[in-house]
Amino acid sequence: MKILISTPSAETAKQLRAILEPADHECIMPADNRKTVEDVYANSPDLIILDVALTRPSVYNMLAKIKAAPSTWDIPVLVIAPVRAVPSVKRCFSLGAYDYIYMPFFREAILARVRNISYVANKMKEFGKLLVRDYLTGLYNRKFFMERMLEEIAWADRYGEPLSFIILDIDHFKKINDTYGHSCGDEVLKELARVLTGMLRAHDVLARYGGEEFVVLLSNTVHDDAFAIGEKLRAGVEESEFNCDDKGNRLPVTISVGVATTEISHDISYAALIKQADEALYQAKAAGRNKVCAAGRA
């Protein structure tokens, strides 16, 4: 497991590393405990261990942020506490902590807790996929995407980063369904999801928005780079092979793409960003389809 450990005590961190690393766990120690939450986003750990002694921000503040974010709420959290810190542990539980470990550390107890958490977390992830994934393509569904978009807008606003949004759909998809059948249309949607996933960066968020529409959230991505990604997706789909039978008959699948970017996020809402990209998509279709158009760009 990848385990992120945040504690103000160098000795505590050393002891935990000595217990966990020989058991084949990867330990991540934030260089600055004040940026623990940011390190959680950056490293996507399987388990987080927080010391109740953390201050500025407090362990409670960190827990609240981790459990409030769609992309981190399901990461299990262990808290480190002294034997007599019952009120602190109770408060951590109320904020979503999974379990606790007392000092002085008992190696076998810690490893057993980690094993149990790993088993439960894996089962919960399997269940969670049913809630956040589209049943056909395996991509994120619209509900999860909207929650993540709100989170990314707040992040961009806090750190003054650009944020880009892409919406795309399959050209003449109804014709594919009418000509070849809905089962063929489903195969095209699944293949498109695979093609798009292969062309995007690991941190880009791709979702099926509905029907033949797909959306992509591009964090910390400026206008020109977002347009280039949109063009890469358009060209990649046009060059890919789509077929619905074993005869190798290729279907002429293309997409139209709308792109919108906000450089100053505090003046933008998720609804406005979607509206801008949707209008750009309409322009791409009006221009003949199989094109990319961006809000504010000819």
Per-residue pLDDT of the chain (298 residues; tens, 9 = 90+): 899 999 999 999 999 999 999 999 999 999 898 889 999 988 889 999 999 999 889 999 999 999 888 778 889 999 999 888 889 999 999 999 999 998 889 999 999 999 988 888 777 766 666 678 898 999 999 999 998 898 888 888 888 889 999 999 999 999 999 988 999 999 999 999 999 999 998 889 999 999 999 999 999 999 999 999 999 999 999 999 998 876 666 898 999 999 999 876 556 788 899 999 999 999 999 999 999 999 975 3
Residue ranges and CATH numbers for the domains of the chain are 2-132 (3.40.50.2300), 142-294 (3.30.70.270)
Q: Strand 163-170 vs strand 213-219: parallel, antiparallel, or unpaired?
A: antiparallel
Containing 51, the helix (H) or strand (E) segment is strand 47-51
Active site residue 38: no
Q: For residue 183, what are the contacts with CB-CB under 8 A and spacing of at least 6? A: 244
Residue of 152, 187, 191, 212 with catalytic role:
212
What is the distance between the alpha carbons of residues 295 and 280, in angstroms, rounded to a whole number?
6
CA torsion sign, 17 to 105 to 23 to 67? negative
Residue with tokens 């798009």: 196
Q: Is 160 left (phi over 0), alpha (psi -120 to 50) or beta?
A: left
| Tokens representing residue 216 in the block | 């992509």
Where would I find the H helices in 160-269? 173-180, 182-199, 223-239
